[in-house]
């Protein structure tokens, strides 16, 4: 009887050890996968943030907040869902930044002063061209995208640069698929005209 109990105890202890080891391996594997995913997205996500918030330090803050929120909320989601979830958080963080900025301006300045300050602030920010290492045509395209209205700019980046579907883009931006198509059509038309290739 004592021998049997001892065997059962040893077997149970051994199973617990294996379970703990498996859990540790699973956690390490997940951390490695998360790290690899975030590394592949960080440069493009940073450029999107920089084009939206204009200032490098603010863009870095947005990216860090996005990564932290993503890991905390979605690390156990299927990996094929990670990309749209990550960019949905990024979009929300960018929107939060704009809301905070507008609130601050409204509180401390008049409408006229706010417009002057915002224009001066934007003119002093480093161009996203400094962080995008592409050829000359790529530089020109990025400069043109910067001039688009914000939603058109975001749709172009998500659809053409990130190669996301209409549905994924709509989910990230929290607008309808029809609105995505409309913004993309208008943005494409403007870009073609700016490049000297207007629609027939």
* pLDDT score for 41: 93
What is the fold, at CATH topology level, of the domain defined by 134-200? Arc Repressor Mutant, subunit A (1.10.10)
To the nearest 10 degrees (0 to 180), the angle between helices 111-124 and 82-108 is: 130
Residue 146 near residue 153 (C-beta atoms within 8 A): yes
108 Cβ neighbours under 8 A, 6+ residues apart = none
Per-domain residue ranges of the chain: 1-127, 134-200
* pTM, two decimal places: 0.61
pLDDT tens string 49-60: 988 887 888 899
> How far apart (Å, rounded) are the C-alpha atoms in residues 105 and 97?
12
Could you give phi then psi for residue 147, rounded to 5 degrees? Answer: -85, -10
Residue 192's nearest CA partner among 158, 156, 154 is 156
Q: Residue 9 class from Cβ within 10 Å (0-12 exposed, 13-18 middle, 19+ buried)?
A: exposed
Mean local confidence (pLDDT), 180-188: 92
Residue 195's nearest CA partner among 139, 121, 157 is 139
> How far apart (Å, rounded) are the C-alpha atoms in residues 148 and 187?
7
> How far apart (Å, rounded) are the C-alpha atoms in residues 99 and 34?
29
60 Cβ neighbours under 8 A, 6+ residues apart = 46
Q: How far is CA 173 from the centre of its chain?
A: 11
* pLDDT score for 102: 61
pLDDT tens string 141-162: 778 888 899 899 989 888 887 8
pLDDT tens string 4-18: 545 455 555 556 655
Q: Which two tokens stand for residue 2?
A: 């004592």
């Amino acid at each position: 009887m004592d021998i049997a109990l001892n065997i059962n105890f040893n077997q149970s202890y051994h199973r617990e050890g294996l379970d703990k080891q498996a859990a540790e391996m699973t956690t390490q594997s997940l951390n490695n996968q998360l790290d690899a995913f975030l590394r592949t997205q960080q440069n493009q996500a940073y450029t999107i943030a920089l084009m939206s918030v204009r200032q490098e330090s603010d863009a870095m803050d947005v990216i860090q907040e996005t990564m932290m929120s993503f890991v905390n909320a979605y690390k156990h989601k299927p990996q094929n869902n990670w990309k749209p979830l990550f960019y949905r958080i990024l979009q929300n963080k960018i929107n939060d930044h704009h809301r905070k900025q507008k609130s601050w301006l409204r509180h401390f300045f008049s409408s006229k002063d706010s417009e002057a300050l915002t224009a001066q602030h934007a003119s002093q920010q480093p161009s996203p061209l400094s962080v995008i290492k592409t050829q000359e045509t790529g530089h020109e395209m990025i400069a043109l995208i910067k001039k688009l209205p914000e939603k058109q700019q975001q749709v172009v980046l998500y659809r053409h640069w990130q190669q996301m579907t209409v549905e994924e883009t709509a989910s990230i931006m929290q607008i309808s698929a029809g609105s995505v198509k409309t913004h993309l059509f208008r943005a494409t038309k403007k870009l073609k005209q700016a490049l000297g290739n207007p629609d027939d």
